[in-house]
Amino acid sequence: MSSYFTDLAQQYIDGEWRPGTGSWDIIDFNPYDGEKLASITIATVDEVDEAYQAAARAQKQWADTNPYARREVFEKALGLIKEREQEITDVIIAELGGTRVKAGFELHLAKEFLREAIHLSLRPEGRIIPSPIDGKENRVYRVPVGVVGVISPFNFPFLLSIKSVAPALALGNGVVLKPHQNTPITGGTLVAKIFEDAGLPKGLLNVVVTDIAEIGDAFIEHPIPKVISFTGSDKVGRHVATVTASHFKRSVLELGGNSAIVVLDDADIDYAVDAAVFSRYVHQGQVCMAANRVLVDRSIADEFTEKFVAKVKSLKVGDPRDPETVIGPVINSSQADALASTVEQAIAEGATALVRGETTDNLVSPSVLTGIPAGSALLHQEVFGPVAFLIPVDGEEEAVRVVNDTPYGLSGAVHTASVERGVNFAKRIDTGMFHVNDGTVHDEPIVPFGGEKSSGVGRLNGETMLDSFTTLKWISVQHGRSRFPF
Q: Alpha-carbon distance 65 to 38, whole Å?
A: 37
| Count of residues in the chain | 486
Q: Alpha-carbon distance 402 to 231, whole Å?
A: 26
Cα–chain-centroid distance for residue 83? 24
Beta carbons within 10 angstroms of residue 100's beta carbon:
18
DSSP H helices in 99-174: 100-120, 157-170
Q: Alpha-carbon distance 486 to 484, whole Å?
A: 6
Give, to the nearest 10 degrees, the angle between helix 419-427 and helix 395-404: 40
- In this structure, which amino acid lies at residue 227? V
412-415 and 435-436 as β-strands: parallel, antiparallel, unpaired? parallel
Nearest Cα to 345, choosing from 381, 309, 397?
381
CA dihedral 326, 335, 375, 239 (to 10 degrees): -120
- Residues that are catalytic: 254, 288
Task: Give the per-residue SS3 of the chain.
Answer: CHHHHHHCCCEEECCEEECCCCCCEEEEECCCCCCEEEEEECCCHHHHHHHHHHHHHHHHHHHHCCHHHHHHHHHHHHHHHHHCHHHHHHHHHHHHCCCHHHHHHHHHHHHHHHHHHHHHCCCCCCEEECCCCCCEEEEEEEEECCEEEEECCCCCHHHHHHHHHHHHHHCCCEEEEECCCCCCHHHHHHHHHHHHHCCCCCCCEEECCCCHHHHCCHHHHCCCCCEEEEECCHHHHHHHHHHHHHCCCEEEEECCCCEEEEECCCCCHHHHHHHHHHHHHHHHHCCCCCEEEEEEEHHHHHHHHHHHHHHHHHCCECCCCCCCCCECECCCHHHHHHHHHHHHHHHHCCCEEEECCCEECCEECCEEEECCCCCCHHHHCCCCCCEEEEEEECHHHHHHHHHHCCCEECCEEEECCCHHHHHHHHHCCCCCCCEECCCCCCCCCCCCECCEECCEECCECCCHHHHHHEEEEEEEEECCCCCCCC
